[in-house]
Structure 1
Amino acid sequence: MRLAFDNEKYLELQSKNILDRVSKFGNKLYIEFGGKLFDDYHASRVLPGFLPDSKLRMLLTLKDKVEVIIAINAKDILKNKMRGDLNINYETEVLRLIDAFRSSGLFVGSVCITQYQVAPQVASFKKKLNNLGVKTYLHYEIAGYPHDINNIISENGFGKNQYIETERPIVVVTAPGPGSGKMATCLSQLYHENKRGVKAGYAKYETFPIWSIPLKHPVNLAYEAATADLNDVNMIDPYHLEAYAVTAVNYNRDVEIFPVLKSMFEAIYGESPYKSPTDMGVNMAGFAICDDEAACQASKDEIIRRYLRSLVDLRNGKIGQEAVDKILLLMRQLNISVGDRKCVQAAVDKKKKSGTEAMALELEDGTIVTSRTTPLLSAPAALILNSLKTLAGIRDSIPLITPAIIEPISKMKIDKLGNHNPRLHADEILIALAISATTNPLADMALKQIDELKFTQAHSTVILPQVDSEVLKKLKIEVTTEPEFYAHKLYSK
């Protein structure tokens, strides 16, 4: 994979910039962390070389100075809001984040329940956190937030929130997902710190859009594609342009809220430390791009994938037609199309030729591998075997797993486990291959190629069952599908 991003340079620049920002305030900085800290796969796809846990690695360079507050909105607890990519609710995600931070060596100071309201589910979660030894604080809904500055910056506004006790100079405020109240938590803390004579600062850390590259750069357009359902729009920061005569990229929500934030800073401190929303940011990702051409190509590929996935989300009722149309418009701006994704047409052609559901995968060297659904194997399972054979230089006619292993598994699924589908899924075929590898040298040779599947591109002619989709994701295969259900069924397993 052609690298576009210098991750080591990024870590150095980013940590230095945050330390510089801390020094400008009363040695206390609250940083609102947007996006994902542990698994930022979007960034790693559009900026090859950016590690999915780069933000975490950066924090570890400052770990003795950092503590973490996790914000969760009480309304999300009541709605049992889910994190779709992990299929867990926000309460469970808070616990997962705490474990992940602690296991990495970062100090989690507390959890803040925002927009608190009395309800059994909220009380139960608070009690659970307390029983686990996690400090928990309550912040409340404020009438007129965010526009009624006089009420917000008063004892009836931020003043009624509990002050979160912190120990370290850099306080990272993160959350299980958007809308959790990270910014309000930071601002409330600034109010309380100022009352205690501490001139704490606020900063915002989001990777995208990247402020220091052009507005219509493919990397920034890929961010618009990723947030098409949120209707985020990249734009030139007008406040930054006016203050410094320098063009910087931001997005509509930050630009829209800046006058309010500026007024809050003025109400707390008497003046605002920032002249623009871009000023508030500390992101240095743009300065670590080392191959712009590679970043552009990776971003174009990501936009095409986003478009194909948006068609599936539309079919499943997760988004509206407007989001699909927005991504299509971005593709037209960049003069790219689905035809640029070679595995798409290869999968469609394989389906026409075989008369059944099919998949295709493009290896790093451009080789196309195809598969079809068979009586004993799903198309994803067959694709994994075919791809490993190709990588190992094993002839297609040579079986890696004997029917003596596959058929009993298939029979068990039907006779004992109550499945209607006898075909082996991707996880089952990998287990069968691992068993075969203990006695079959060719199977062992093929299995050793599994890491070579990372970052390959694949396409399916049908929406994949969750079990197959998750296995391909774990193998880091970039998969897209047609917006069609298998055999016209609405449910499959």
Structure 2
Amino acid sequence: MKIGFDNQKYLSMQSEHIRERINQFDNKLYLEFGGKLFDDYHASRVLPGFAPDSKLQMLMQLSDQAEIVVVISAGDIEKNKVRGDLGITYDVDVLRLIEAFRGKGLYVGSVAITQYTGQKSADAFKKKLEKLNIPVYILYSIDGYPNNVSHIVSDEGYGKNDYIKTTRPLVVITAPGPGSGKMATCLSQLYHEQKRGVRAGYAKFETFPIWNIPLKHPVNLAYEAATADLNDVNMIDPFHLEAYGETTVNYNRDVEIFPVLEAMFERIFGECPYKSPTDMGVNMAGNCIIDDEVCQEASRQEIIRRYYQAKAGLVDGSKKEDEVFKLELLMKQAHITPQDRKVVGAAMERAEQTGAPAAAMELPDGKIITGKTSDLLGPSAALLLNALKELAGISHETHILSPAAIEPIQILKTAYLGSRNPRLHTDEILIALSSSTALNPAAQKALDQIPNLKGCQVHTSVMLSQVDIQTFKRLGIQLTSESIYEHKSILHNA
């Protein structure tokens, strides 16, 4: 796969700029971390070369200066809000994040429960954390937030919140997801620090939109595609343009809230340290793009993938029509159609030829491999097998799986586990392949190619079961599917 982004340069530049920002204040900076710290796969897809854990690696370079505060909204605890990508509730994710940070040698100072109005579930979570010897602080819901600045920045507003005790110059504020109250936590701390004679600072770390590339650059359009459900819109930062005569890109929520933030800073400090939302950000990603065309093409493909995901979501009820309409508009702005995804045409052509569900994969060298439905295998399983054989240089006619490896799995599925579908799924074909390696060297040769599937593109002519979707995800394969079920049934059964 072609590389378009210099990850090492990014880590170096980003760390250096954070250190500079710390020194601008009284050696105390509250850094709001947007997006995902551990697994930023969106960034790695649209900026090939960006490591999914880049933010974490950058923090580890600052580990001696940094401490982490994990923020969670009391309302999200009450609602049992779930992270869609992990399938776990936000409160469970707080524990996961703490454990993961500690496992990397990073110091987690505390947890802040925000927007608190007496929720009993939040009280229970606080007690649970305290039993684990994790300090917990409460930040209350403030009447008139965010517009009643005089009330918010007062002893009856931020002054009612707990002061979060921190010991290091860089305080990273992160959360399980958006809307958790990260920015409000930072501003509350600035208020309390000022009362204690410390002129602490605030900055925002978000990768997208990238401020110093064009507004309609495919990388920035791909960010809009990723947040289509939130209806975020990229826009020129008017405050930055007025202050510096320089055109930069930000997004609507930061631009809309900036006058309020400016007023808050003025009440806390007597002046605002920033002239624009762009000023608040620490984002060197745009300076680390080394092949713009590679990143543009990767971003175009991401927009198309998001479109297919939204279309499938319409069928299963997880997405709304407005999201699909927005993605269609973004495709027009990027001058692309679904047919610009090579595997789409190949999968649909194979399905038409065979009269049954089919799948297609684009290998790292650009070659297209297809898989069809058979008595033994579903199209996704067949595709995986064909791709591994191609990568291993094994002839298509060579059988690397014997019926003896497949039949016991089919019997187990249908006779003992109650499945109506005897065909093997992707995970089952990989198990069958691994169990064949002892007797068949070709099977081992094919199995050794699994790492080379990472980053490959796949399209299927029908929606897949969750088993197949998760297998492709674990393999690092970027999947899209037509938004129709294989069987016309009320339930989408595997």
Tell me the equivalent position of 2:493: 492
Q: Which moved more, 1:420-429 or 1:479-488?
A: 420-429
Q: CA deviation at 1:182?
A: 0.4
Q: CA deviation at 1:422?
A: 1.9
Tell me if 1:97 matches 2:97.
yes
Q: Which amino acid aligns with 1:294?
A: V
Tell me the equivalent position of 2:86: 86
Tell me the equivalent position of 1:155: 155
Tell me if 1:478 matches 2:474.
no
Q: Which moved more, 1:9-18 or 1:362-371?
A: 362-371
Tell me the equivalent position of 2:283: 283
Between the aligned partners of 1:127 and 1:477, the Cα distance in structure 2 is 41
Between the aligned partners of 1:146 and 1:73, the Cα distance in structure 2 is 16
**Are the equivalent residues in 2 in contact too, given 1:137–1:162 (CA < 8 A)?**
yes
**TM-score between both structures, scaled by the size of structure 2:** 0.98
Q: Which amino acid aligns with 1:491?
A: H
Tell me the equivalent position of 1:237: 237
Tell me the equivalent position of 1:431: 431
Q: CA deviation at 1:395?
A: 1.7
Segments of 4+ moved more than 3 angstroms? none
Tell me if 1:386 matches 2:390.
no
**Are the equivalent residues in 2 in contact too, given 1:114–1:139 (CA < 8 A)?**
yes
Q: Which amino acid aligns with 2:73?
A: N
Which whole-Å deviations, capped at 9, do the CAs of 1:213-246 have from their partners, x for residues lacking one?
1111111111111111111111110000001111
**Are the equivalent residues in 1 in contact too, given 2:75–2:115 (CA < 8 A)?**
yes
Between the aligned partners of 2:109 and 2:86, the Cα distance in structure 1 is 24
2:299 partner SS: helix
**Are the equivalent residues in 2 in contact too, given 1:460–1:482 (CA < 8 A)?**
yes
Between the aligned partners of 1:142 and 1:257, the Cα distance in structure 2 is 16
**Are the equivalent residues in 2 in contact too, given 1:45–1:299 (CA < 8 A)?**
yes
Between the aligned partners of 2:319 and 2:487, the Cα distance in structure 1 is 24
Between the aligned partners of 1:458 and 1:201, the Cα distance in structure 2 is 46
Identity %: 60
Unpaired stretches in structure 2, ≥5 consecutive residues: none
2:99 partner SS: helix
CA RMSD of aligned residues (A): 1.1
Q: Which amino acid aligns with 1:219?
A: V
After superposition, residues 185-224 of structure 1 pair within 5 angstroms as: 185-224=185-224
Q: Which amino acid aligns with 1:102?
A: R
**Are the equivalent residues in 2 in contact too, given 1:228–1:323 (CA < 8 A)?**
yes
Q: Which amino acid aligns with 1:269?
A: F
1:382 partner SS: helix
Tell me the equivalent position of 2:303: 303
Tell me the equivalent position of 2:174: 174
Q: Which amino acid aligns with 2:54?
A: S
Tell me the equivalent position of 1:330: 330
Q: CA deviation at 1:479?
A: 0.4
Between the aligned partners of 1:436 and 1:120, the Cα distance in structure 2 is 54
Between the aligned partners of 1:39 and 1:182, the Cα distance in structure 2 is 19
Between the aligned partners of 1:152 and 1:300, the Cα distance in structure 2 is 43
Aligned in 2, Cα 1:373/1:127: closer, same or farther, shift over 3 Å? Answer: farther
Tell me the equivalent position of 2:136: 136
**Are the equivalent residues in 2 in contact too, given 1:66–1:168 (CA < 8 A)?**
yes
After superposition, residues 275-424 of structure 1 pair within 5 angstroms as: 275-424=275-424
Tell me the equivalent position of 2:116: 116
Tell me the equivalent position of 1:34: 34
Q: CA deviation at 1:405?
A: 1.5
Tell me the equivalent position of 1:66: 66
Between the aligned partners of 1:130 and 1:358, the Cα distance in structure 2 is 53
Which whole-Å deviations, capped at 9, do the CAs of 1:346-395 have from their partners, x for residues lacking one?
11111111121111111112211111222222222111111101111212
Between the aligned partners of 1:369 and 1:227, the Cα distance in structure 2 is 32
**Are the equivalent residues in 2 in contact too, given 1:486–1:492 (CA < 8 A)?**
no
Between the aligned partners of 1:421 and 1:134, the Cα distance in structure 2 is 48
1:389 partner SS: helix
Between the aligned partners of 2:127 and 2:466, the Cα distance in structure 1 is 34
Tell me the equivalent position of 2:467: 467
Tell me if 1:12 matches 2:12.
yes
**Are the equivalent residues in 1 in contact too, given 2:27–2:169 (CA < 8 A)?**
yes
1:35 partner SS: coil
Q: Which amino acid aligns with 1:427?
A: D
Between the aligned partners of 1:375 and 1:90, the Cα distance in structure 2 is 43
Between the aligned partners of 2:332 and 2:366, the Cα distance in structure 1 is 25
Which whole-Å deviations, capped at 9, do the CAs of 1:36-68 have from their partners, x for residues lacking one?
111111101110000000001011111000000
Q: CA deviation at 1:331?
A: 1.5
**Are the equivalent residues in 2 in contact too, given 1:310–1:319 (CA < 8 A)?**
yes
1:138 partner SS: strand
Q: CA deviation at 1:150?
A: 1.0
Q: CA deviation at 1:454?
A: 1.0
Which whole-Å deviations, capped at 9, do the CAs of 1:169-190 have from their partners, x for residues lacking one?
0000000001100000111111
Between the aligned partners of 2:112 and 2:423, the Cα distance in structure 1 is 47
Which whole-Å deviations, capped at 9, do the CAs of 1:424-461 have from their partners, x for residues lacking one?
21111111111111221000010011111111110011
Between the aligned partners of 1:439 and 1:55, the Cα distance in structure 2 is 44
Q: Which amino acid aligns with 1:97?
A: L
**TM-score between both structures, scaled by the size of structure 1:** 0.98
Between the aligned partners of 1:492 and 1:238, the Cα distance in structure 2 is 51
**Are the equivalent residues in 2 in contact too, given 1:224–1:233 (CA < 8 A)?**
yes
1:63 partner SS: coil
After superposition, residues 245-260 of structure 1 pair within 5 angstroms as: 245-260=245-260
After superposition, residues 444-459 of structure 1 pair within 5 angstroms as: 444-459=444-459
**Are the equivalent residues in 1 in contact too, given 2:142–2:157 (CA < 8 A)?**
yes
Tell me the equivalent position of 2:272: 272
1:479 partner SS: strand
Q: Which amino acid aligns with 1:290?
A: I
Q: CA deviation at 1:409?
A: 1.0
Between the aligned partners of 2:3 and 2:190, the Cα distance in structure 1 is 40
Between the aligned partners of 2:151 and 2:376, the Cα distance in structure 1 is 67
Q: CA deviation at 1:488?
A: 2.0
Between the aligned partners of 2:376 and 2:198, the Cα distance in structure 1 is 68
Tell me the equivalent position of 2:225: 225
**Are the equivalent residues in 2 in contact too, given 1:7–1:54 (CA < 8 A)?**
yes
Between the aligned partners of 2:463 and 2:96, the Cα distance in structure 1 is 29
2:444 partner SS: helix
**Are the equivalent residues in 1 in contact too, given 2:221–2:334 (CA < 8 A)?**
no
Unpaired stretches in structure 1, ≥5 consecutive residues: none
1:371 partner SS: strand
Q: CA deviation at 1:344?
A: 0.6
2:487 partner SS: helix
Between the aligned partners of 2:261 and 2:317, the Cα distance in structure 1 is 35
Q: CA deviation at 1:333?
A: 1.9
Which whole-Å deviations, capped at 9, do the CAs of 1:395-437 have from their partners, x for residues lacking one?
2222211111211111111222222222221111111111111
Q: Which moved more, 1:302-311 or 1:141-150?
A: 302-311
Tell me the equivalent position of 1:57: 57
Aligned length: 493
2:229 partner SS: helix
Tell me the equivalent position of 1:24: 24
